[in-house]
Structure 1
Amino acid sequence: MQASKQVAPAFGQADLSNCERELIHLAGSVQPHGALLVLRESADLLVQQCSGNVARLLGLPAEALLQRPLALLGGDVAERVAALLRPPQQHQANSGHADLREAVMLQCSIGPTGRRFDGALHRLAEGGLVLELEPATTSASAETGGMELQDLTPEQMAATLSDALQRFGAAPSVGVLADAVVEVLHHLTGYDRVVVYKFDPDGHGKVIAEARHPRLESLLGHHYPASDIPQRARALYLLNRVRMLVDVNAQQAPLLPALRPETGAPLDMSLCQLRSMSPIHLQYLRNMGVTATLTASLVREGQLWGLIACHHYSPRHLRCTLRSAADLLAEVASTRISAIENYAHAQVALMVRRLEQRLVEATSTEGEWRYALFRNPRTLLQPLEATGAALFCEGEVLVSGETPSTPELRALLAWVQAQQPVPVDEPFACASVGQANPALASLTPTASGVLAVRLSTNSPDWLMWFRKEQLQSVTWAGDPSKPMVANNPLELSPRRSFAAWSEIVRGTAVPWSSTELALARGIGVALVDIIVQVQAVRLLIAEHQLVQIRGAVAGSREPVLVANAEGRVVFANEALVVLRGAPVEKGGEISGLFAAAPAVQRALAEMRRSQHGWRRELDLLGADDTLVPMAVHAEPVSGRDGQALGYVLTLLDLREARRADTARLNLESTLRLAAQHTRSEANEPDGVIAAILTNASLAAMDIADARGGPPVAPLLQELENSTRRAAGLYAQIRSSSG
């Protein structure tokens, strides 16, 4: 049966069954606290569309303003807009966004009395300009419906931002950072409730931090289904980072005319700060008792990581400088989140180093590494927040934590191998084994989620981590026995959303994040390296197993070199040959493979004397005498009589690490130059700019130290762009506040 074509409902005509497709960017109306004008990009800045509230806010009715020059409004508004349209070299230093792809703030006067307005100007992709205007009054007035505009003095703003950015930069974890974010935004904006809302890989959300008025019920730890925030809304959160709703009950002002005269199409309001919100979303807020909101996007590597959501229980209107401050803080918090999560790779390197030492020691003293791996369950489970783990190695099964039975584990292993029949480097991850394979539904209580890494290319050796069904560990935000708002499914509430989320995720574990996948990959690679080392030891002390072990070492992805007691090559695997770009001569001196041959000879002599391993950074000689920087780990191998049998050398290519170090140094040089250019007339550094640059420098170090993770050069470039954007936002704030 052929599926019928789904038609996107127009704005305001969606219900819960089709709200994912609602055209919310074509709202056709604005919130009444501000006015919107669509201008022709020409010398006269002809007004082509306007919101229906221009008479009340700007002093001219729509019929007198449409198809007339912007200068008709009086004041300096037309001059201010024209200044932003001049060639970039004439105004880029002031605006920071000369191409107007993002809204640029401006201040202007309108009318014979020179009423002050805050403005935002951006360019439409299909041509034309959108000018949004809000009264810049600081006291209750008719223009703002009797509401007082919230703002800070320049001195208060600078002090608040400087303190906040220093606090963000010092946060050691996402949890500590999120707590700092909600406390700072709660103090800065005065909203009754501020939360940080984090998305999981499936788009479901969880409140991970909260600052609230004591009279309010806590939402900390609350979960929401992905459907609460449609995909169109998520896309707009990436385009328009900060959104404010002043009054959920206010009458919206329609655009006049409804369609653009030049195109006959609705106005794309994706970047409009005044855009009306969906009636479904407004009803959702009313059901929560919320009257006003402010949301700021948390973006990591171009994806929506989460949201900062501010709720107020009466109308609330923040001036544009405060909204830009919230945007700046969200931008810097996003940078810090990226740095913290990427720094986890560096933490894994430390953990793996300790694991490697313990397993090598266990091999030399006990002849076995596998039991040492499971001696301390916390070491294996905590980094991935797993509830259980199992090792399948050489036909045996070792377990830790809460796991299924051995027959169930073997059935799970067979299924996992069937999903990845060809050896690959990427981990296998599943959050709902029972749904993916109903025959394994019995595993749900202990292993609803599985994360697995392959440890061998030629045998069924795997390390697996498990997670229980997530509903077993979820705590309700408040009393679950309290009734919901109503039985009408249109009347959404947080409690109903939690119930919907519970139904969606029943039988699933908390999904494995991209960071956890990277951690698993790092642990798997390290274990492969350890296994290769152990097998290389066996190669020297058990000649009757030579063929089997040689195959395992030769097929390793890690470059391995085995030498006899005289320091001559016994074996070099294919990975080393590929790395050199030239064959390795058997029987040749291993020192001849490195640029610093005398240093290697001295190190071998010292190992023979002390029987202790060493680690050095050396240049490997490649084809045509090219130098390949390597981290070399050498371990002596002794027989039962204590005599040296030879050495095992494992090598790590440092070229990517060197490129990362160079990128970090280049970025720090750029930051130092930026700091010099932002000094005041008294040659004193600006506190906020200094805090932004300090945060960026700390983030750069964290990112660059994350060995084993993704390439850091793009992350450092994203950090540089984010820092420039944050500095630009502050420049606008400082210009507007002055």
Structure 2
Amino acid sequence: MTEHGSATPRVAGRAADVPLDLDACAAEPIRIPGSVQPHGVLLAVTEPALEVRHVSRTVEPLVGRAAEDVVGSDLGAVLGPEAAEAVRHHVRTFGDLRARNPLSLDVAGVDGPVTMDAILHRVAVGAGTLLVVELEPAYGPRPFSFPNTYQAVRGAVEQLNGARTLEELYDVAAREVRALTGFDRVMVYRFDPEYNGEVVAEARRDDLNAFLGLHYPASDIPPQARQLYETNWVRLIADVDYAPSPVVPPFDPASGEPLDMTHAVLRSVSPVHIEYLGNMGVRASMSISLLRDGKLWGLVACHHYSSAYMVPYGARAAAEFLGSTLSLRLVARAEERELETELAAQGVIDRVLHAARDSDRALADALAAGPGVLAVVPAHGAVVRADGIVATAGTVPADLTPLLDWVARRTEPVTACASLAEDDPMLAARLPGVAGVLAVQLPDDQCVVWLRHEVVQDVYWGGDPHNAKIAREEDGKVRLSPRLSFDRWREVVRGRSEAWADAHVRAVEDLRTRLLEVMLLRNRWQMAAAQALQQSLLPRALPQPAGWSLHARYEPSAGGRVGGDWYDALELPDGRIAVVVGDVAGHGVSAAAAMGQLRNALRAYVLRGEEVEDALADLDALARRTMPDDMATLVVAVVDPATGEACVGSAGHPQPLLVDGTGRASLADVAVDRPVGVGSGAPRATRVRVPEGGALVLYSDGLVDSRSTSLAAGIERLVTAFGAGEDGGPVDIDEVVEACRDDDSTDDITLLVLAREPDPAYAPAVVAGAA
């Protein structure tokens, strides 16, 4: 057993302070190696002519012709007419070639007919495809058939079906795969979420040392290799000491692309992987992929030490069958275990929510009181903040402010962290004793948080995981190599809690959803109702008259409270466009309801053809008589798209901006009457003209006024934001909102821009953004 060593790989012979960047290993083009393993022959042929476009040099001892001479020949001239006709008939008969492999062929060899297994698939090359024919000497019982394959694994499948636990499944799989294939060692290798692997079962020769329980770093199987494992269930390396046989020509003459060997069973192996196996003393290997939802979940890794080892295609097919069956059983058993955990948590959640529905108790106290949320997920402590009250259960830090502030900044509704020291060292320092956090966010900075203590672990690796690769300097060049030592290496892991199980994370996600329902029942439905009412009254689509563009944005206040802001835009019967931005005093359902009444009434007035000043006067009268407790400001403009002439009226609302054709913005000289509900009774309207390439900008005071910014300063900021288009580029409405937003504002933000398209000979559009 080796203790900790250096964590940074370096190059022998270089200065000790010069680390080597090993990221290039993950970019190795293993799909297109340009060579094959020499125990078979690869040919890529056209269809339907079956003309050879690529061939491996291993064809030469088989047929007695140089690879360069074979390229361009008819397949029948290479393998014999009967073999070529059998291939032609096979590909015409069956659609899914990979499901019908192998095809038995009698190839016309140098010394007479040679029976070979042909494994067929198609590969894309340029705009077309090639048929890839891989030939292996026929081994094993004949004829190859599905019944033979099933009989080979029938007993193993019965044992898998009888296994009751994941651990039993692992053991059965390792034992049966070794019996099926004859390898010296067979391991079941399971990945964690970061693709570090652990040997969870093995069957081996008695004289071999045990690998059971050892861990291996994710870098041992880089991402591009994992993708190939997800594509090909079985991968064989018959002889680790093989000399790769090049494919001739290396690049397709028509497309200039190398031959894609993703699905090739003879595909040559990464030199780094070959050296890795050699360093382990392995002479031959085979892997069987274990998949869950199409993603690599684990591997059955087979190693042979005594010699090279060729596994017949039939045995590999049986192993693939066994691997797919094992994958289904492993996934089913894992899901059963997760379901058991979730069902247990659901029972606790039901009891917690029942207590939370008690309106006579504070919500935080109801959730934290035993057993409460601490029984939903195994943890050492829990914290609940709701309705301004913080309640705790179990063991929690004395000062919870840093934790609650951290949770409030999370962007995800559920955050699971098993190592706070890694994710946020500063916070970890302020929360002694806390290593893991599982947090659920609720509206208005409310939350439920579970805490776990540190769990010190001894993890045993197959070699130092921090030096998974080394570098050698040969002939002045640096070459990557895998590590040399696979000795048992102990690592003490600190600062981490027990990982949060997926089943528990899903349980708290469900708790969050159902708790939101409870919170609505506890009189918090008003916020949702007000939001729904306000959103329903905003126009779903904005008119886009010819030669004009209309853009609008609405954002609720920073506290999430629904205010009385609204905007509207509609096309009038005479073709003019009416645009409105208004703001009812107050927040919540009452403000949203008042906004809806005013919005609908103003729509009715302008649609029946009233002039702007008359519509404002009638709206003020309506508010005085039917809404005595409500007051609103608004600005309305009716614009003739043909001329750009606009009639603008304001009731206590900030004056709109007028942007000229060169991108300069200024306040429009518009008369401002008193707000609706306290109006003068005789409001005035002002006529302005929107020039070509210009715009009329309406906005609410939430965009320009706050506790830290005066109205005048806010309007100047807005004018400056629209003036940003003077350099010839359009102003983006979202950038304007971002530039003018004030964190100190407690009001909604509304911005509406009606822009007139420019004369094509002059400036571009003044505003950009989705309508």
TM-score under structure 2 length normalisation? 0.56
CA distance in 2, matches of 1:163, 1:477: 34
CA distance in 2, matches of 1:515, 1:494: 37
* SS across alignment from 2:328: helix
Matches within 5 A, 1:470-619: 472-476=456-460, 490-493=481-484, 495=486, 512=500, 514-525=502-513, 549-551=522-524
* SS across alignment from 1:124: strand
Alignment partner, residue 711 of structure 2: none
What percentage of aligned pairs have identical amino acids?
A: 32
The answer as to 2:440 corresponding to 1:453 is yes
CA distance in 1, matches of 2:353, 2:296: 42
Alignment partner, residue 452 of structure 2: 466
CA distance in 1, matches of 2:354, 2:115: 74
Following superposition, the deviation at residue 299 of structure 1 comes to 2.0
Following superposition, the deviation at residue 175 of structure 1 comes to 3.5
Alignment partner, residue 339 of structure 1: 332
The one-letter amino acid paired with 2:56 is S
CA distance in 1, matches of 2:100, 2:151: 25
CA distance in 2, matches of 1:291, 1:115: 27
- Are residues 361 and 317 of structure 1, via their aligned partners in 2, closer, same or farther at CA, if it must alter by over 3 Å? same
The one-letter amino acid paired with 1:550 is N
Q: Is the 8 A contact 2:94 2:100 kept in 1?
A: no
- Are residues 40 and 511 of structure 1, via their aligned partners in 2, closer, same or farther at CA, if it must alter by over 3 Å? farther
Q: Is the 8 A contact 2:30 2:270 kept in 1?
A: yes
The answer as to 2:29 corresponding to 1:19 is no
Alignment partner, residue 55 of structure 2: 50
Following superposition, the deviation at residue 477 of structure 1 comes to 5.2
The one of 243, 258, 274 equivalent to 1:282 is 274
CA distance in 1, matches of 2:275, 2:432: 38
- Are residues 184 and 369 of structure 1, via their aligned partners in 2, closer, same or farther at CA, if it must alter by over 3 Å? farther
Alignment partner, residue 661 of structure 2: none
CA distance in 2, matches of 1:104, 1:321: 10
CA distance in 2, matches of 1:515, 1:151: 47
The one of 380, 398, 421 equivalent to 2:392 is 398
Following superposition, the deviation at residue 105 of structure 1 comes to 2.4
- Are residues 200 and 484 of structure 1, via their aligned partners in 2, closer, same or farther at CA, if it must alter by over 3 Å? closer
- Measured against aligned partners, the alpha-carbon deviations of 1:254-298 in whole angstroms (never above 9, x if no partner) come to 112222233333211111111111111111111111111111222
Q: Is the 8 A contact 2:463 2:489 kept in 1?
A: no
- Measured against aligned partners, the alpha-carbon deviations of 1:124-151 in whole angstroms (never above 9, x if no partner) come to 112211111110145xxxxxxxxxx999
CA distance in 1, matches of 2:453, 2:248: 55
- Are residues 550 and 187 of structure 1, via their aligned partners in 2, closer, same or farther at CA, if it must alter by over 3 Å? same
- Measured against aligned partners, the alpha-carbon deviations of 1:400-458 in whole angstroms (never above 9, x if no partner) come to 4xx66332x542232122123xxx6x41123432233221233798543322223x434
CA distance in 1, matches of 2:406, 2:287: 43
Count of aligned pairs: 489
The answer as to 2:64 corresponding to 1:91 is no
- Please, which moves more after superposition, 349-358 or 206-215? 349-358
Alignment partner, residue 680 of structure 1: none
Matches within 5 A, 1:241-256: 241-256=233-248
* SS across alignment from 2:102: strand
CA distance in 2, matches of 1:62, 1:507: 60
Q: Is the 8 A contact 1:448 1:509 kept in 2?
A: yes
The answer as to 2:410 corresponding to 1:441 is no
- Measured against aligned partners, the alpha-carbon deviations of 1:61-104 in whole angstroms (never above 9, x if no partner) come to 42442321111222732122212321xxx435xxxx15x6x784
- Are residues 444 and 150 of structure 1, via their aligned partners in 2, closer, same or farther at CA, if it must alter by over 3 Å? farther
The answer as to 2:255 corresponding to 1:267 is no
- Please, which moves more after superposition, 177-186 or 22-31? 177-186
Following superposition, the deviation at residue 327 of structure 1 comes to 1.7
Structure 1 runs (4+) greater than 6 angstroms displaced: 149-156, 360-368, 478-481, 483-489, 496-499, 552-556
Alignment partner, residue 120 of structure 2: 121
The one-letter amino acid paired with 1:405 is P
* SS across alignment from 1:114: strand
Q: Is the 8 A contact 2:368 2:383 kept in 1?
A: no
Matches within 5 A, 1:104-503: 104-111=101-108, 113-126=112-125, 127-138=129-140, 157-313=149-305, 314-343=307-336, 346-348=339-341, 350-356=343-349, 359=352, 370=367, 373-374=370-371, 380-381=376-377, 388-394=380-386, 395-400=389-394, 405-407=397-399, 409-420=400-411, 426-442=413-429, 446-454=433-441, 456-458=442-444, 460-466=446-452, 468=454, 472-476=456-460, 490-493=481-484, 495=486
CA distance in 2, matches of 1:15, 1:119: 42
The one-letter amino acid paired with 1:321 is G
Following superposition, the deviation at residue 318 of structure 1 comes to 0.9
CA distance in 2, matches of 1:303, 1:389: 35
The answer as to 2:46 corresponding to 1:40 is yes
Following superposition, the deviation at residue 156 of structure 1 comes to 7.1
CA distance in 1, matches of 2:426, 2:89: 68
CA distance in 2, matches of 1:198, 1:412: 34
The one-letter amino acid paired with 2:523 is R
- Are residues 228 and 486 of structure 1, via their aligned partners in 2, closer, same or farther at CA, if it must alter by over 3 Å? closer
Q: Is the 8 A contact 1:345 1:519 kept in 2?
A: no
- Are residues 491 and 396 of structure 1, via their aligned partners in 2, closer, same or farther at CA, if it must alter by over 3 Å? same
Following superposition, the deviation at residue 242 of structure 1 comes to 1.3
The one-letter amino acid paired with 1:473 is Q
- Are residues 464 and 326 of structure 1, via their aligned partners in 2, closer, same or farther at CA, if it must alter by over 3 Å? same
* SS across alignment from 1:85: helix
CA distance in 1, matches of 2:67, 2:371: 75
CA distance in 1, matches of 2:71, 2:28: 29
Q: Is the 8 A contact 1:431 1:448 kept in 2?
A: yes
Q: Is the 8 A contact 2:283 2:304 kept in 1?
A: yes
The one-letter amino acid paired with 1:255 is V
Alignment partner, residue 74 of structure 1: 80
- Are residues 389 and 194 of structure 1, via their aligned partners in 2, closer, same or farther at CA, if it must alter by over 3 Å? farther
The one-letter amino acid paired with 1:70 is L
CA distance in 1, matches of 2:82, 2:430: 70
Q: Is the 8 A contact 1:15 1:490 kept in 2?
A: no
Larger radius of gyration: 2
- Are residues 341 and 478 of structure 1, via their aligned partners in 2, closer, same or farther at CA, if it must alter by over 3 Å? closer
Q: Is the 8 A contact 1:54 1:62 kept in 2?
A: yes
Q: Is the 8 A contact 1:205 1:225 kept in 2?
A: yes
Matches within 5 A, 1:621-660: none
The one-letter amino acid paired with 1:522 is D
Structure with more helix by fraction: 1
CA distance in 2, matches of 1:151, 1:224: 40
* SS across alignment from 1:270: coil
CA distance in 2, matches of 1:372, 1:494: 54
CA distance in 2, matches of 1:70, 1:115: 16
Following superposition, the deviation at residue 245 of structure 1 comes to 0.5
* SS across alignment from 1:476: strand
CA distance in 1, matches of 2:142, 2:226: 27
Following superposition, the deviation at residue 381 of structure 1 comes to 4.4
Alignment partner, residue 534 of structure 2: none
- Are residues 203 and 553 of structure 1, via their aligned partners in 2, closer, same or farther at CA, if it must alter by over 3 Å? farther
The one-letter amino acid paired with 1:517 is V
CA distance in 1, matches of 2:137, 2:317: 16
Following superposition, the deviation at residue 350 of structure 1 comes to 2.8
The answer as to 2:70 corresponding to 1:65 is yes
Report the RMSD for the aligned CA atoms in angstroms: 4.1
- Are residues 68 and 450 of structure 1, via their aligned partners in 2, closer, same or farther at CA, if it must alter by over 3 Å? same
* SS across alignment from 1:318: coil
